[in-house]
Structure 1
């Protein structure tokens, strides 16, 4: 499985982001969704990858470097089209993002997901992510699930 770094102008990215937004907005109230807009993927603090099958962008994932008490990466926009699920693509995306973050010297990964995304939560737990309190710009929302993983050791 090959991943390439994407930009806001990458073929199929706008459509894939729209698909993600539609799904998230169907599961959670708009105020509970913190979806990075496509314009922000060109920010130097954002690392976004994708996978194409027959010239169609079918999966993506990113992290954004942020700072609280210390610098960390926040996973964002991890998504695999329904037609491509069950092939280990989400796992491969997360592995790639964790390796890249560690290679750039980041020591911690955090994420916010929703309580309706049971498969995603199980996948994050399999990587060793642990539940944590709200961080950064987030407020505690009833549907929010916060997790973190140390990249040290």
Structure 2
């Protein structure tokens, strides 16, 4: 199994393809709330994107977006169903955290849904700590927000 990680941007065709898979998955998981969450997931504003390839096939992605002067927000994290459990998500997060540090950021924040049980477990395993819901997620019962100092 040969793993390759590339840094790119939101115009990358492999990233766009993976995001389409992510959106289909989230639409199924979020149900009626999907339209609300989806409005915050435009990819055209993402300049720092990571795509992971296993044996030359794009299987995972994620991005960082400036949140405030010292923080970035992790966005559009996804690993294709057939590549889960192989450490791909961990590689995406590690690369995004490294990139954020290189850009001078001190912290990562993110939001996920309580229905995304695997994601909640994953971020906890990666040493992310639950915080009060921020920004557009305040008052959203399905949202769980996390942060991690870099």
Please classify the TM superposition score into its range, dividing by the shorter chain length: 0.7 to 0.9
User: Which runs of no fewer than 5 residues in structure 2 stay unpaired?
Assistant: none
TM-score by length of 1: 0.84
In 1, the alpha carbon distance for the partners of 2:140 and 2:77 equals 20
**CA contact 2:70–2:104 (8 Å) conserved in 1:** no
Aligned to 2:73: 74
SS in 2 for 1:37: coil
Structure 2 counterpart of 1:6: 8
Could you tell me which residue of structure 1 aligns to residue 109 of structure 2?
110
Offset of 1:15 from its aligned partner? 2.2
In the TM superposition, residue 116 of structure 1 has moved relative to its aligned partner by 1.1
Q: Which has the higher helix share?
A: 2
RMSD, aligned α-carbons: 1.8
Name 1:122's counterpart in structure 2.
121
Aligned to 2:41: 36
Distance 1:13 1:95, change over 3 A: closer
Aligned counterpart, 1:48: 49
Count of paired positions: 145
Which residue in the other structure is 2:19 paired with?
A: 17
Distance in 2 separating the partners of 1:80 and 1:39: 20
**TM-score, normalised on structure 2?**
0.86
Deviation at residue 9 of structure 1 after TM alignment = 3.3
